[in-house]
Amino acid sequence: MTENASSIDVVNPFASRFMRTRRAGPFAIVIFGATGDLTARKLVPALFNLYLDGFLPEPFSIVGFARRDWTSESFRNAMSKALDEFSRQGSPDEATKSKFLSHLKYVRGEFDQPEGFERLAATVRKNAIDQQRPLNLLFYLATPPSAFETITRNLNSVNLVSRQADDDNWTRVIVEKPFGHSLESTWQLNGTLHAAFREEQVYRIDHYLGKETVQNILVFRLGNSIFEPLWNRRYIDSIQITVAESIGIGNRAGYFDTAGMLRDMVQSHMMQVFTLIAMEPPAAFDPVAIRDEKAKVLRAVRLPDAEQLGDHVVRAQYTSGLVGGEEAPAYLQEPDVPSESETESYVALRLAVDNWRWSGVPFYLRTGKRLPKRVTDVAIVFKTPPHYIFDQSGCSDLAPNVLRLRIQPHEGISLSLGAKVPGQAVEITPVRMEFDYDTSFGQSSPEAYERLILDAITGDATLFARADEVEQAWRLIDHIRRHWHTLPLEQYAAGSWGPNGAEALVAREDRQWVRL
Ligand code: BG6
């Protein structure tokens, strides 16, 4: 059957536009791990783009803290190169770039030694006095979690942490993923952070929540009245969430081989997308109401029966193959991967949610590296009509309506409908109604980190994971991992859509994965 696409235009974009424009007040951000990759690739370019867009008015400071023997000047030089390479909007002119870079300072120090923290405290205090601004401090822990405890302890010991979150002299902390590697380690991390900060001051980042299209899941569901009445077991047959990557693990074996796809992608990004799709409508668009609902639906996820885990979970590792016409090595041949590694580069899951809305509706999740292309997609598959009148006309094969939320790339939404093919016979074929971000808005979206850093500066934690959410996600992952060894480690060729077991997972229930 053919699929035709038609499009939906943005109807009068100014009529009902919901705008929430915010600008930062005076602040300083202190980046721990300032000489690392994340700072150069994401954090400083994000701050620069916020600056270019007028979201960071004077005065503000960006203070890098790390072990390396850098100076403020060498930090600025390194970040200047990083902006040339990684800034979304490029770098309009040298004068603007230099002005932005003049806000950068560098403090050298070891995470476990107080001297560096004393220098840091002196620097940020003097800076606040010079700039005649309150000591509003945002700490960014772009470090491995093993460093969190010493950093927070040392910050406390030099009195840089106030337990205020909202007013002048606020202190907040952004924490990078991975947040824990099990439920127990997550309790410990939360305990460490809560020893210094109140929960409202902790911003656990998951960059998927900063993606425009992930945020649009909420707007789409709750800013329109036509979808929510259908968003339940009465009309929905099943839901599929796919996060496919064509890349392998690059040079990240040190981290990835100890994590694997279940912990790296499912616990974090996939659970976030899942909760936004599955949660109940919150009463307000605020951090408490939204995160209450997210935690609630995670609590309703049924832990798969250990005896039948193989019917719910598939794990696999790639062998060599062709991805986009290029030869890709097997996982075991990637640099620094131990030759006996059983780490999974692919996971497929069937989740059940035990509540009134979703009883009986399976959620199929799959994510893998070295799949044919990079695509993140949610497919809501609707039930077919309860009474079908066209089979007498010889038309028995009716495709279900499928609502697709395309999160990346080519962000957009499409709905497939059955339509009559012109002619004398009754022939029904699926056609698509399309909404495409690029065509409708024609402007590039801010990077996830821009959105999230600005949210943290302005004190909006809506798009950050709360302690109980993260713990609930680990409850599921830990349960699966406890029985992990009972599952076969399947193989799939790099460049294919995954192992046979993933096909069987859906075929067992007479379903198939959507084509991407
Ligand atoms: C990271 C994971 O959090 O997300 C990586 O650690 C993964 O393994 C990446 O490749 C995917 O992010 P994105 O934005 O490219 O989909």
Distance from the alpha carbon of residue 265 to the mean position of ligand 1, in angstroms = 7
User: How far, in Å, is the centroid of ligand 1 from the Cα of 264?
Assistant: 8
* φ and ψ of 448, to 5 deg: -55, -40
- Look at the chain and count its residues: 516
Q: Is the distance from the beta carbon of residue 206 to the nearest atom of ligand 1 less than 6 Å?
A: no
Q: Is 264 in the pocket of ligand 1 (CB under 6 A)?
A: yes
Q: Which amino acid is present at 386?
A: P
Whether ligand 1 lies within 6 angstroms of the CB of 257 is answered as no
Sign of the CA dihedral with 474 first, then 197, 178, and 363 last: positive
- Is 237 touching ligand 1 by the criterion CB < 6 Å? no
CB-ligand 1 contact for 245 (6 Å cutoff): yes
Choosing from 206, 208, 264, 347 the residue with most ligand 1 atoms within 8 A of its CB, the one to mutate for a pocket test is 264
| DSSP code for 230 | G
| Backbone φ/ψ region at 12: left (φ over 0), alpha (ψ -120 to 50), beta | left
Strands 363-368 and 346-351 turn out to be: antiparallel
How does pLDDT run along the chain (516 residues), one tens digit per residue? 334 444 544 444 443 444 445 777 899 999 999 999 999 999 999 999 999 999 998 899 999 999 999 999 999 999 999 999 999 998 888 999 999 999 999 999 999 999 999 999 999 999 999 999 888 999 999 998 889 999 999 999 999 998 765 667 899 999 998 899 999 999 999 999 999 999 999 999 999 999 988 999 999 999 999 999 999 999 999 999 999 999 999 989 999 999 999 999 999 999 999 999 999 999 999 999 999 999 999 999 999 999 999 999 999 999 999 999 999 999 999 999 999 999 999 999 999 999 999 999 999 999 999 999 999 999 999 999 888 888 777 777 788 999 999 999 988 999 999 999 999 888 888 999 999 888 888 877 889 999 999 999 999 999 999 999 999 999 999 999 999 999 999 999 999 999 999 999 999 999 999 999
Task: Give the CA dihedral 326, 327, 330, 336, nearest 10 degrees.
Answer: -80
Best CA proximity match to 196, nearest among 170, 227, 163, 240: 163
Measured from the CA of 374, which atom of ligand 1 is nearest? 16
Q: Which two tokens stand for residue 253?
A: 């074996």
> Can you tell me which atom of ligand 1 is nearest the CA of 208?
14
Q: What is the pTM of this model?
A: 0.93
**Would you state the structure tokens that stand for residue 375, as one six-digit string?**
């695509």
**Three-class secondary structure of residue 142 per DSSP:** coil
Distance between Cα 269 and ligand 1 center (Å): 8
> What atom of ligand 1 comes closest to residue 264's alpha carbon?
6
Among 246, 265, 271, the mutation site with the greatest number of ligand 1 atoms within 8 A of its Cβ is 265
H or E segment to which residue 190 belongs = helix 183-196
Positions marked active-site: 269
Report pLDDT for 167: 66
Q: How far is CA 495 from CA 368, 440, 467, 485, in A?
A: 10, 32, 37, 26
Q: Quick one: pLDDT at residue 75?
A: 98
What would be the CATH architecture of the domain defined by 209-507? 2-Layer Sandwich (3.30)
State the Cα–Cα distance between residues 444 and 437, nearest whole angstrom: 9
Tell me, what amino acid is at 182?
S
> From atom 6 of ligand 1, which residue's Cα is the shortest distance away?
264
Strand pairing partners for 406? 377, 412
Task: Pick from 205, 245, 249, 272 the residue to mutate for probing ligand 1's pocket: most ligand atoms within 8 Å of its CB.
Answer: 245
Nearest CA to ligand 1 atom 8: 264
Ligand 1 centroid from CA 141, angstroms: 18
- Provide the 3-class DSSP secondary structure of residue 237: strand
Q: Where are the domains of the chain?
A: 3-176, 209-507
What does 303-344 look like in DSSP terms, one character per residue? PPPGGGGGGTEEEEEEESEEETTEEE--GGGSTT--TT----
- Domain 3-176, CATH: 3.40.50.720
Q: Give CA–CA dist 232/382, Å, rounded.
A: 10
